[in-house]
Amino acid sequence: MTPLLEVRHITKEYPGCRANDRVNLCIDMGEIHALLGENGAGKSTLMKIIYGVVQPDEGELLWRGMPVNIKGPAHARQLGIGMVFQHFSLFDTLSVLENILLSLPAHEARDRLRVLRQLDDMGKRYGMHLDPHRPVSTLSTGERQRVELIRALLNEPQLLILDEPTSVLTPQECEGLFASLRKLAADGCSILFISHKLQEVKDLCQRATILRGGCVVDELDPRETDIDTMAARMVGSGTATHATTRPGVQGEAAISVHHLTLPGFSSHEVGVRDVSFTAYKGEILGIAGVAGNGQACMLRALSGEQLSQSDDVRIGARGIGRLNPAQRRKLGMAVVPEDRLGRGAVPDMTLVENALLTAADQGLVKKGVIQHGALRDWTSQLCKLFKVKTAGIDAQARSLSGGNLQKFIIGREVLQQPAVLVASHPTWGVDIGSAVAIREALLTLRDQGCAVIILSEDLDELFEISDRMTALCHGQLAPIKARQDTSVEEVGRWMGGDFSDTPPAAESSAIAAATAAHSDLPQENRHAQA
Amino acid sequence: MDMDLITNILFAAVRTGTPLLLVAIGELICERAGVLNLGQEGMMLMGAVLGFIAALTTGSIVTGFVVAALAGVLMSLLFGFLALTLSTNQYATGLALAIFGGGLSAFIGQPFVGKPVDGLHAIVIPYLSDIPLIGKALFAQDGMVYLSFILVPALAWMLKNSRPGLIIRAAGESPDSLHALGHRVMMVRYLAVMFGGAMAGLAGGYLSLAYTPMWNEGMTAGRGWIALALVVFAGWQLGRLMLGAYLFGLASILHLVFQGLGFDISPSLLAMMPYVATILVLVVLSRSRDNPALQAPAAIGKPWRPVH
Amino acid sequence: MLRLERQPQDSRLMAWCSPLLAIALTLAAGALLFAVLGHKPLESLYEFFLGGVKDIYSVGELGVKVTPILLCAVGLVLCYRANVWNIGAEGQFIAGALCAGMAALAGLDIDTPWYAVVIMLAGMLGGMIWAGIAAWLKTHFACNEILTTIMLNYVAYNLLQYGVHGPLKDPQGFNFPESAMFNDNHLLPVILEGTRLHGGILIAAVAVIAVVLLLRYTHLGFKITVLGRDASAATFAGFGSKQLTWIVLLACGGLAGLAGAGEVDGPIGQLTPYISSGYGYAAIIVVFLGRQQPVGAVLASILLGLTYLGGETSQIKLGLPVSLTELFQGMLLFFLLACDLFIGYRLRWIPRVHPA
């Protein structure tokens, strides 16, 4: 049988990096095919080439056995290729319907009533209901993905490409998505499923192509391969894929938040509602949650970028809610924001200047005058200690790879020996080697007695390094539990907004209720669970 | 104050507001597509001078307006080439356009300063223009005013309901997403910029061919800048834009009002009014910035390039 | 086909070559313009740019033009570094001149040359007040500073007209819209014999050095630069953006006010309706051309000073309008913006891919 799509010897080069190197890929009719690889392996580039967003330097594509030159996304859709992007290409201020109309060819978009009817049919068939007149800005992340999916499906594609679709979903939402996808494949639509999460690939896909460093390293059947083998193929042999986890020793309270309620920055952003918790010295507190549920607001409230009532946030007994980020730093606070370029670091400035951004108090500025010599030494030391690969300390921040820049930023904060470190998505979009190094650095910092708070979407990571776990949903905080007392399922429910406790034994329900009420008192909590 | 005076003030407010409205309509569409062109003043001046020269040499006012619009389009293409194709900083590029247009128009127009031209005549609509108070303001104006009456609702409908309108709004909201859907963002933005240029040219032509009518160096007197503030005032909505333009028209003819009321105030102080009013409007607006229906397009002023 | 590609590192070489390239392109375009107008291109260009500078007096005249441009530009360097789009140096210049003029007229009878200090300080204060309005509007009401400063330019201009037509008009001036002449004793001293070059240029030199030191060695200078490059990083680091906005605007207003005061209390010697020839706008181009560096601004203001002299020369010798100055300035900025693109991007030839 002729494969639906065949990719032959595709090469694509960017300045300083060969994103795809003679890549071959073959997708059969009606199969769910996984494209596996870690961040930076070239998955995104390949899929953009297939969708016509990017033109390859060399190689060819065969569609149903015929060579094609896909000129652009419109052409790709015409052929029958649909795409759901990881970062949704939706328009916030437009309605669901308007978003869908934009993706249709002009002649089909003219008949709005027919489009509305199709929407309704689609919702019923695949279990994806949406109000077409709601502005996209009011939808949850999962609902937005549905808009993307429906938009792609209205074109009746024969090949649907999904770019890391589960990274924005709770585990429960993932199940729903997989059900829809299986139904779709049964209807004859092939699916190219891009991911780096091995378990879900094993659950869903019939075939997997593994990319590493821009090259195809293997093609295998994920149902018959165990996860460790796949992981090894993905990252190459000899690379550690896990930090050496070890439990922390909890000390006294370092930072606490008391009934914090704040609005988001815009009408599109979720704030936080009545959040209370305490983080203790020598522990890592993991806060799970799908982005867009108040994490940004929470991080700003902790860092000082958004002010609150003085006593809403405290370091020890001191209220710091009215202090700005520089003042909080002097009290031992360090922060790693979710945006590396354009917040954690200034893209066009050198590493030396970026070191000065938050580390002025390390004796690098005296009486308002910059100590250039000390600053350069400090930056060199930072790059050496944290193995930041760079052309030199005078390189611009934007010239570093994601992993190296993140090591630089984490290193800059860690080197200041903070009493409290708040990090948002510390390893997002980072290669596995750097991610392991970053987790290791966070664990070491914790062992030195720092209170570490991590906001992340990545449950695997949180379960790997956290001592206690909770989740944010719609700006509210779930109960806090010790890692060993909770489970992926429970945290998943928290992420979906279900904070109710379904304890394993009936008699502990009263205690559980008490735990939920006093979620900021971990001693009680731990005691009760024990 | 008698009825005649009020009638005349309303008439003059609409007439004075029209060049502002014309240029602001163009800029509004341009901004809805995500492009901020600060060079309105330069495009208006070029429209004013070339339109004037064309009308003077051909003796045809219509030719004058056509040339004025074309002059605006040419200037806007200069902006477009830099700000869109070369993705330069839109603020600086617009500023350069304003300075360049000011210099070039003064240079070209020097031999024509003070020459008379037979200006655009009013088209008085019988009966309707006799309606008390508003009749004269609405139905005894010239063709360009009527054009603006038609353009505002037509464009408002286009933006809200038509596919081109949807695409323009999307280009101003998220050019990356629009590009990913396979639409030609560059072309959409070029067309919006060119439309803005044509409208600015017409507005300039209105000043030199209908409002004054004659050519003088720097005769736009900051109207291009005020129009930019008007678009902010209007919350990027055409209906509010029209209202704002006439309010500014009113502020510009305050001397008429004060004369009517018998006050004697220095003309220099009165000449300040539209500019002070603009600042006040910006201040008042900051209080109502939370209304989600009146927000700036998200991608406005940000250079954008397609990723290959 | 040709394609623009983002470079991983900005090209430092290009950052400094771009202004030179832009000047060359402007000259080429200027030659073309002269040729089209029926003048000999090279001779006319020479006449425009260098014809005005042939003796010590004309060098002094160049200095007289450079002084206000440079003072405004040095202030604008701070603003643009902080991404505060102050287009209002012109208005701040006029406000400074107006306040300086009022101080000079109020103290006509005071018999000490030191009164010049009072006049200059009044001018500085005037400029700071004018810039302070924009700072207040931006920090308290989030008003776009481009629009407010431009509006304030027009307001200042009309205020000046009001002044010279009204309360500040010389009672013995035959109803001309001009103030009385200032006390000769109070004027800034001429520092080059036989020219009109005055002490204002020394103030400009001090300002340049101060800003160089501020940007190179102080934490404050670093904070200003960070705010301009990346506002979220500045917020993240806890650099108060409102405070920095006030600082740069007040500094710029003060310098522009000094420039205005230096003009009326120097070469002009009275208040007239036309005290600025658009120096505040020319300073904007200077900042871009001078790479937002104070030293670069010195070189660029000399070039812009030449365009002012050239406008006057070509009016006399070639019979061309003075607006040639603005025309050249606009072209220069256009070419510069285009050339600047190649600091961060490069052109690459990419062969089209054809399916086999």
B268 in reach of chain C (CB within 8 A): yes
C195 located within any domain: yes
For residues A23-37, give the mean pLDDT. 92
Indicate whether A172 and A288 sit together in one domain: no
Residue B279 has pLDDT above 60, yes or no: yes
Asked if C230 and A326 come within 8 Å (Cβ–Cβ), the reply is no
C103 located within any domain: yes
C34 in reach of chain B (CB within 8 A): no
Q: Give the list of residues 6+ apart from residue A33 with CB closer than 8 angstroms, or none.
A: A27, A190, A191, A192, A193, A205, A206, A207, A208, A209
A138, A130 in Cβ contact below 8 A? Answer: no
Q: Give the list of residues 6+ apart from residue A262 with CB closer than 8 angstroms, or none.
A: A271, A272, A297, A301, A306, A308
Residue B129 has pLDDT above 90, yes or no: no
Indicate whether A374 and A399 sit together in one domain: yes
Determine which of A102, A107, A148 to mutate to test the interface with B (most B C-beta atoms within 10 Å): A102
Distance of CA C47 to the CA centre of its chain: 24
Quick: pLDDT tens for A294-346: 999 999 999 999 999 999 999 988 999 999 999 999 999 999 998 888 899 99
Asked if B100 and C334 come within 8 Å (Cβ–Cβ), the reply is yes
In angstroms, the CA A354 to CA A62 distance is: 47
* Domain-ending residue, one of A191, A216, A235: A235
* Domain-ending residue, one of A417, A435, A457: A417
C48 located within any domain: no
Query: How far C166 CA sits from the closest chain B CA (Å)?
Result: 8
b/e burial code for range A226-255 (CB count within 10 A of at least 16 → b) = eeeebbebbbeeeeeeebeeeebebeebbb
Q: Which of B91, B103, B269 sits opposite C85 (nearest CB)?
A: B91
C131 located within any domain: yes
A431 located within any domain: yes
Indicate whether A370 and A261 sit together in one domain: no
- Highest average pLDDT, of A221-225, A237-241, A413-417, comes from A413-417
A363, A371 in Cβ contact below 8 A? Answer: yes
Asked if B86 and C334 come within 8 Å (Cβ–Cβ), the reply is no
Indicate whether A290 and A362 sit together in one domain: no
C354 located within any domain: no
A191, A162 in Cβ contact below 8 A? Answer: yes
B44, B208 in Cβ contact below 8 A? Answer: no
C194 located within any domain: yes
B128 backbone φψ class: left, alpha, beta (φ>0; ψ -120 to 50): alpha
More confidently predicted of A229 and A101: A101
State the total domains in chain C: 1
Distance of CA C310 to the CA centre of its chain: 17
Which candidate, B107, A466, A402, A217, places its Cα nearest to that of C329? B107
Contacts of C152 in chain B (CB under 8 A): 275, 279
Indicate whether A380 and A392 sit together in one domain: yes
C192 located within any domain: yes
Indicate whether A398 and A423 sit together in one domain: no
The pLDDT-based confidence of A530 (bands split at 50, 70, 90) is: very low
Contacts of C3 in chain B (CB under 8 A): 308
C32 located within any domain: no
User: Which ipTM was obtained for this model?
Assistant: 0.88
In angstroms, the CA C6 to CA C4 distance is: 7
- Determine the pLDDT at residue B136: 85
Interaxial angle between packed helices C56-81 and C241-263, expressed in degrees from 0 to 180 and rounded to the nearest 10: 160
CATH of residue C100: 1.10.3470
* Domain-ending residue, one of A395, A417, A439: A417
- Determine the pLDDT at residue B290: 66
A209, A32 in Cβ contact below 8 A? Answer: no
Count of CB pairs separated by less than 8 Å, A with B: 60
List alpha helices for A313-401, DSSP H: 325-330, 351-359, 372-385
Of A72-76, A371-375, C239-243, least confident by mean pLDDT is A72-76
Paired with A350 in beta bridges are A396
For residues A446-473, give the mean pLDDT. 92
What the block records as the tokens of B129 is 């223009």
In angstroms, the CA B191 to CA B15 distance is: 28
Torsion of CA B153, B154, B160, B162, to 10 degrees: 170
Residue A292 has pLDDT above 60, yes or no: yes
Mean pLDDT over each residue of chain A, to the nearest integer: 86
Q: Which of A343, A370, A391 sits opposite C217 (nearest CB)?
A: A370
B35, B192 in Cβ contact below 8 A? Answer: yes
Residues in chain B: 308
- Highest average pLDDT, of A356-365, A422-431, B116-125, comes from A356-365
B127 backbone φψ class: left, alpha, beta (φ>0; ψ -120 to 50): left
- Highest average pLDDT, of A265-279, A362-376, B106-120, B267-281, comes from A362-376
- Determine the pLDDT at residue A239: 60
Residue A167 has pLDDT above 80, yes or no: no
Query: How far C30 CA sits from the closest chain B CA (Å)?
Result: 12
Looking at residue C346, the DSSP 8-state letter turns out to be E
Interaxial angle between packed helices A112-126 and A171-186, expressed in degrees from 0 to 180 and rounded to the nearest 10: 110
| % pLDDT > 90, chain C | 66
Instruction: Identify the domain containing residue A138 by its residue range.
Output: 5-235
| % pLDDT > 70, chain A | 92
Residue A390 has pLDDT above 90, yes or no: no
In angstroms, the CA C57 to CA B212 distance is: 43
A321 located within any domain: yes
Quick: pLDDT tens for A342-356: 899 999 999 999 999
Residue A242 has pLDDT above 70, yes or no: no
A358, C237 in Cβ contact below 8 A? Answer: yes
Instruction: Identify the domain containing residue C277 by its residue range.
Output: 57-318
Q: Which of A52, A72, A91 sits opposite B170 (nearest CB)?
A: A91
Indicate whether A103 and A202 sit together in one domain: yes
Indicate whether A262 and A303 sit together in one domain: yes
- Determine the pLDDT at residue A79: 92
Quick: pLDDT tens for A70-121: 988 888 988 999 988 877 788 988 999 999 999 888 888 888 899 999 888 8
Residue A527 has pLDDT above 60, yes or no: no
Neighbours of B217 (CB within 10 A): 17
Give how far Cα A122 sits from Cα of A116, A118, A153, A163, B204, Å.
Answer: 10, 6, 8, 21, 53
A59 located within any domain: yes
Q: Which of C159, C161, C321 sits opposite B106 (nearest CB)?
A: C321
Mean pLDDT over each residue of chain C, to the nearest integer: 91
Distance of CA B212 to the CA centre of its chain: 16
Contacts of A344 in chain C (CB under 8 A): 233, 236
CATH of residue A276: 3.40.50.300
How deeply is A31 buried, as exposed, middle or buried, from its count of CB atoms within 10 A (0-12, 13-18, 19+)? middle
- Determine the pLDDT at residue C92: 98
- Determine the pLDDT at residue A301: 96
SS3 assignment, position A503? coil
Indicate whether A318 and A210 sit together in one domain: no
What the block records as the tokens of B249 is 């028209």
Indicate whether A369 and A482 sit together in one domain: no
More confidently predicted of A400 and C297: C297
State the total domains in chain A: 3
- Determine the pLDDT at residue A237: 61
State the number of CA atoms in the 13 A half-sphere of A491 facing the CB: 28
The pLDDT-based confidence of C208 (bands split at 50, 70, 90) is: very high
Which candidate, A377, A400, A375, places its Cα nearest to that of A389? A400
Indicate whether A348 and A257 sit together in one domain: no
The pLDDT-based confidence of A508 (bands split at 50, 70, 90) is: very low
Q: Parallel, antiparallel, or unpaired for β A81-84 and A159-163?
A: parallel
Q: Which residue has the tokens 């008379």?
A: B116
> Is-above-0.95 flag for pTM?
no
A337 located within any domain: no
**Could you give the domains of chain B?**
3-294 (1.10.3470)
A138 in reach of chain B (CB within 8 A): no
Indicate whether A477 and A455 sit together in one domain: yes
